Structure 1
Amino acid sequence: MAVSTVEQRNQECVDACAECQQACEACNYRCCAENSEMAACARLCLDCAAICALCVTLLSRGSKWAARLCQTCAEICEACAAECEKYDADYCRECAAACRRCAEQCRQMAGAGV
């Protein structure tokens, strides 16, 4: 019973992290394929996607470490959003928006102490 409550409580953050992971991976791919000057953006998107994937895993299982990781995830998402916002490409704008949503959800999770 307690497990389903934890999972339900974390679902919004899990969804935001999963969406952010996908957006970052798509942005990374397009940055690399279309413009070599966007290497910093591409690298940061990979870091952000990795931390989001880990948040999904820890939140989904109700790990006691999820809140701490969510704080770090929020910081990386904010940095990724700021980097992506430097570019006019639609995929960068979509990634930045997903990162901002994820950062907000992760901050709420970190504050709640999951």
Structure 2
Amino acid sequence: MPASSASATQNQAVLDALSRCIAACELCADACLHEDNIQMMVPCIRLDRDCADICRLTAAFIARGSDHAQHVLKECIEICQKCADECGKHQHDHCQQCAAACRACVEACRQYAA
């Protein structure tokens, strides 16, 4: 496979993982607002929002081949891991699905960064 094809495939894999993470975080944050004890969900909601935002930025940097993509990628990995850890503490389906999407995003970003 030519290098450009491998690169495009690698880009698409991380972009897909970032997109799935954005959607899962947005869904989770919205669903958390409807839980009985919203106050308990505040850290989860905040991390969901931070994670979705850093994933959007990271996807944009990767898609346009920014020289700063690697730097943003490191922050993305850190925030996605924190979001996965927080969502993983809650038994709600939306939190568990978000945690799984965040973990998958962390793995895809690590593979891309390597």
Normalization by structure 1: what TM-score? Answer: 0.88
Instruction: Work out the percentage of aligned pairs sharing the same amino acid.
Output: 46
| 2:31 aligned with 1:12 | no
Runs of 4+, deviation exceeding 4 Å: 2-6
- Written as runs of structure 1 = structure 2, the 5 A alignment for 1:1-114 is 6-34=7-35, 35-36=37-38, 37-111=40-114
**Distance between the aligned counterparts of 1:5 and 1:98, measured in 2?**
24
Contact kept in structure 1, 2:80 and 2:103, CA below 8 Å: yes
Normalization by structure 2: what TM-score? Answer: 0.88
Contact kept in structure 2, 1:7 and 1:62, CA below 8 Å: no
Structure 1 counterpart SS, 2:90: coil
After superposition, the CA RMSD in angstroms is 1.6
**Total equivalences in the alignment:** 110
Shift of 1:3: 7.3
Q: Any unmatched runs of 5+ in structure 2?
A: none
